[in-house]
Structure 1
Amino acid sequence: MIRTLLRVLGSEYARPVRRSIALMTATAMAEGLSYALLVPVLRALFGDTPQGAWPWLGAFGVAVAGYAALRFASDLSGFRTGTALLRGMYHRLGEHLARLPVGWYSAARVGSVSVLASQGVLQAMSVIAHLLAPFVFACVTPLTIVAVILAFNWQLGVAALVAVPLVAVIQHRAGRSMAAADAERVERDHEATGRVLEYLRAQPVLRAGGRTTQRFQLLDRALREVQRASRRTALSALPGVVGLALTVQAVFTALLVLGAYLALDGSVGAAEVLTILVLAARCADPLLALSDIGGKLRSARAELMRLDAILRTEPLPEPHTPIQPADHSLEFDSVSFAHAGRTVFEDVSLTVPQGQRLAVVGPSGAGKSTLLQLIARFHDVDAGAVRVGGVDVRATSFEELTARIAMVFQDVYLFDGTIEENVRLGRPDASAAEVRAAAAAARLDEVIERLPAGWSTNVGEGGESLSGGERQRVSIARALLKDAPIVLLDEVTSALDPVNEAAVHEGIQRLMAGRTVVLVAHRLRTVRDADRVVFLDGGRIVEEGRHDELLRRGGRYADFWRMSLVPG
């Protein structure tokens, strides 16, 4: 597990982790060795001169004080190392996630990454601070005590040594049996969480259908599965817990019987037998704690493996010598692309000269949004090439590509901050006058005037305090402020009311002015002014031409135009 931890964190954290483990091991050994001084103490107390116990008591006190100092240093080292690892893990995970292609972030992955980045990282990094020290003490201290017993009496030492392989075998088998149960329980927990969220989101539908008093069967089934998985986890843990307890008690009983026999035989003194029994009893607590510690370590290891899987995900490759695009034209050259096991594009070719507007139309699932994503390099194509300014997007740097592109999508996500902070994401170093000018061009100033806090209004997580049209205006203002030469628009006005649609449409017209534009729209009246229209269907370009020309042909585009119920 330590190897996995170091692989996830990186080699720079190997030294502090190994130093903490070495200090914990030394502390555990010091604890076990300090108990060896109990033998002369009890021998003197039960002997003819009890006063002779004082020097040994003093030595025992010094040993305990030394152990306490080591324990303090060990715990402090563990906490400091754990804190450093936690900070390092968040930095490494954040940097890696920022390098992964945007297309990697499916809805399912976003949910799992959010849970992993919050609970998972904390649980995985708690190993050093909270779990490793108890585990080391549970293993090393009993072994040291067994060595002490061997030093004083080999018969009792061998009897105690028998417990070592028994405990190891029990722990190994219990861990294997619980691993599958733990994995199933985690899977069922995730499924139940999804069903709870689904139930909450479905409240409007359930209430509209008059089913508010009825049970949600999918949720009930998921919760029952969680209950069954939890029961199986508990039952799978039972043999290990019971077996470990019985082994510890059996070994202690064997030591008691053997010690009594040796004492009656005169082979060993009563003081030595009593001390060895005290030492054996001291071994019991950490050994019995192994089951609980092992379960927590398995959970932490599962989170580590999930972190490792994400960190092993390869980002899109960056060129060693990036090429600067010559202009702001766009080109698809025999592009083929498959996603999630489905062919999206097959041998698609098209060009958008600098400064022209291309409108993309087609049925749902035709690949319109994917076309925009390939331009922005959310994914890499399987065959062919996507070029910006005559340069393959894979041959230019990601920073150069994103600097040239402004994107406005139907589903706008705003960060939990003020309106001004969200607009400034387009260009953080913009002046206040430039921010106000972009807002006015997007007609965002009308929204700001209505809000009591104005520019300082907090939009909430995802922009929840604003309407869809208001969020769209923020997004357009952000794109205007960025002032990128290439603009990608995806269904910008498809879900807006007439008032907001008119305002957003006006802002979009200003955004498109003088730029290379690729526009995806269902409301076909927004594509009439495009220089060229392409109709996508089945991963291919079915029709291509100007709006009026395509209407005269009477093909698929003309059918779409008639169904849109917008007068030509």
Structure 2
Amino acid sequence: MKHFKNLMAHDTWVKPYLKRYKKLLFLSLFFGVLTAICAAALMFTSGYIIDRSATHPYNILMIYAAVVLTRAFGIGRPVFKYLERLRSHNWVLKVTSDLRRRLYHVLEKDAAFFEEHHRTGDILGILADDLGHLQNLYLRTVFPTIVGYLIGLLVIILLGSFDWRFGLLMLLLFFVEIFLIPLISVNVEGARRYHQKAINNALYVDLTDNVMGASDWVISGRHQDFIQRPKPALKQLRQSQLKSKHFGWTRDFILQIVFLGMAIALIIFTNLHLTGSQAQANFVSAFVLAIFPLSDAFIPISTGFDELPLYADSIQRLNDLTPKPRTLPAQQMLEPKDFQQLTLKQLQFEYDADSPVLIKDFNQTLKRGEKMAVLGPSGTGKTTLLQLILGDLTPQSGEILVNDTNVLALQNERAQLFSVLNQSPFLFNTSIMNNVRMGNEQASDAEVKAVLEKVQLKDLIESLPDKYDTVVEEAGNRFSGGERERIALARILLQDAPIVLLDEPTVGLDPITEQELLETFFKLLHDKTIVWITHHLQGIELVDQVVFLTEGDIEMQGKPNDLYQHNAHFKQLFEMDRG
């Protein structure tokens, strides 16, 4: 509990929405209290009718008012319950929607940071598990606890007004029911729930790794290991959850015993105070029966407390999901048509003081329409260079200029200035048209079909049964690697940004397909400024400038033909690449 309080004191993911939607929150709690009041009042009036009818009233009118009230409270209970559910779920869905949108913006804003510091399974766990836990925090803990405490307070005040000593007794029983047992429950069950959450988080990470590497498991003949691998963790999780269920059953039984003590105490109280006359005796059953529906308001409090460690872990993970603060300069505007030059000026970059310098005094200038290929062994900073150009990373010294403006001051214009095509362009499980239109959501069907024709997919698509409405399937599995790259290229053509960054887009393709695809790229992007990261010299004759990086330094650079004529190392690499 102390950890949860400290966590909430510094929370930025839960508390803001308590204030933002406070009117809906108040209505949810108000209808929740009315539901409990109607339930108790229904039993109260029913008990009164039973007692009063047992005295054989000479006229039905003597109990008519109670009959009407019974009907009213009988209708009021489900109506208020429905309104409470409607408002509380509306509140929770609004909050969850805001949380998901906020999570997306946080991830999208600094994707490079999260890719470096978080595994894919962690992000999936937050999306699928943690936000769901926060939803339950309100529905299963916050709302029931507040409603239960308000109802308990009203009951104690009401009974205490008859007899302060009995009020103190009920206060003690209520303390045990809605404070002491929930606190004991969260301390006993909390560690177990936290352990279950840790296992669940690990399963998300393992599942992601297993699914992404499923083909390798099958190829290696270890598909049974693939199936068996998560079973120990799942067995451990099931055993722990079974212990939680047994504990919950025991705890709820104890709560019912305590509640029975309340009912017995109320029977004693009514016999001491409501048996002085027949008129008073008519209320004995009414008071005793009225207490029973309130168990629905009190018992869920302990269940909600049990899950506080889950919520605490989810809140902690979300609050930890914060990138290193970046101070961007005042944002400026630049029309894509006004782009003239990309300058990389004396760049130096390292991830931290303990890491080697990846980029050292890198200088290059590309005018509009010029193409540059960057080569080098793995780990030499080629992809880091693209992240610097995009503004995902900030160099320790130097700057990237688009015309005369630092790229960090153009982050709001990034989608209009830069297109990116990497080795695994993601295609969504929707139609070809929708996948291509992601480059420009305002594009017409005719424009989408035109760029697909340019990338030489028209004949293939029109031979399919559903033509342009063909679903590409998950990750584009409906098409080959080269076809997926062409669909991604069509997306870039539709986006029509002046600067295109190619991050090894043809890796894994056979040489003939790779050469054809590269020729298509550079033909269709002839008027674009291109920075092309590649691992070998296939298609290198298509660029204006070649830069070789080795341990952050430029080993050699120049035009491909000049390097071939005058640089023995380049000539050797080129001829080895050609076989």
After the TM superposition, which of the residue ranges 275-284 and 17-26 deviates more from structure 2?
Answer: 275-284
CA distance in 2, matches of 1:238, 1:381: 59
State how many pairs are aligned: 561
Structure 2 counterpart of 1:226: 237
Query: Residue 100 of structure 1 contacts residue 314 of structure 1 at CA under 8 Å; is this kept in 2?
Result: no
Cα distance between partner residues in 2 of 1:78 and 1:411: 45
Secondary structure of 2:341 counterpart: coil
Whether the 8 Å contact between 2:419 and 2:497 is mirrored in structure 1 is: yes
Superposed, 1:48-447 pairs within 5 Å as: 50-51=57-58, 55=62, 58-59=65-66, 61-62=68-69, 65-66=72-73, 68-69=75-76, 72-73=79-80, 75-80=82-87, 82-83=89-90, 85-87=92-94, 89-90=96-97, 93-94=100-101, 97-98=104-105, 100-104=109-113, 106=115, 110-114=120-124, 116-117=126-127, 121=131, 124-125=134-135, 134-167=144-177, 168-196=179-207, 198-199=209-210, 204-212=215-223, 218-231=229-242, 233-234=244-245, 237=248, 240-241=251-252, 243-253=254-264, 274-295=285-306, 303=314, 319-322=329-332, 324=334, 327-338=340-351, 342=355, 345-354=358-367, 355-398=369-412, 400-430=413-443, 434-447=447-460
Distance 2:12 2:577 in 1: 60
Name whichever of 206-215 and 359-368 sits farther off.
Answer: 206-215
CA displacement at 1:304 relative to structure 2: 5.8
Q: 1:527 aligns with which of 522, 540, 548?
A: 540
Letter in 2 for 1:230: Q
1:19 is aligned, of 2, 15, 27, to 27
- Give, in angstroms, the shift of residue 194 of structure 1: 4.1
Structure 2: gaps spanning 5 or more residues: none
Aligned pair 1:481/2:494, yes or no?
yes
2: CA distance, partners of 1:257 / 1:333: 88
Point out the more displaced range, 462-471 or 235-244: 235-244
Structure 2 letter corresponding to 1:62: L
Unaligned runs of 5+ in 1: none
Letter in 2 for 1:188: I
- The percentage of counterpart residues that share the same residue type is 22
What CA deviation, in whole Å up to 9, does each residue of 1:290-319 have, x standing for no partner?
Answer: 333444677567656655665x66886665
Shift of 1:364: 1.5
Question: 3-state SS of the aligned residue for 2:392?
Answer: coil
State whether residues 329 and 352 of structure 1, in contact with CA within 8 Å, keep that contact through their aligned partners in structure 2: yes
TM-score, normalised to structure 1, is 0.82
Separation in structure 2 between the aligned mates of residue 230 and residue 383 of structure 1, nearest angstrom: 53
C-alpha separation between the residues in 1 aligned to 2:425 and 2:226? Answer: 34
Q: Distance in 1 between matches of 2:168 and 2:271?
A: 16
Contact 1:423–1:474 at 8 Å: present in 2 too? yes
Task: Evaluate the alpha carbon distance shift between residue 156 and residue 46 of structure 1 in structure 2; reply closer, same or farther with a 3 A threshold.
Answer: farther
Q: Which moved more, 1:236-245 or 1:409-418?
A: 236-245
Contact 1:34–1:60 (8 Å) recurs in 2? no
1:422 maps to a residue whose letter is N
Residue in 2 aligned with 1:497?
510
**Deviations 1:87-132 (Å, cap 9, x if unpaired)?**
5642563366245223245395554444544565456446667776
Supply the AA of the counterpart residue of 2:402: V
The secondary structure found in structure 2 opposite 1:413 is: coil
Name the SS for the 2:538 alignment partner.
helix
SS in 1 for 2:151: helix
Q: Deviations over 1:133-156 (max 9, x none)?
A: 655554443443344433444444
The alignment's C-alpha RMSD in Å is: 4.2
Give yes or no for contact 1:323–1:396 (8 Å, CA) kept in 2. Answer: yes
Which residue of 488, 511, 527 corresponds with 1:514?
Answer: 527
Say whether the 8 Å CA contact 2:49–2:66 is kept in structure 1: no
Superposition deviation, residue 284 in structure 1: 3.8
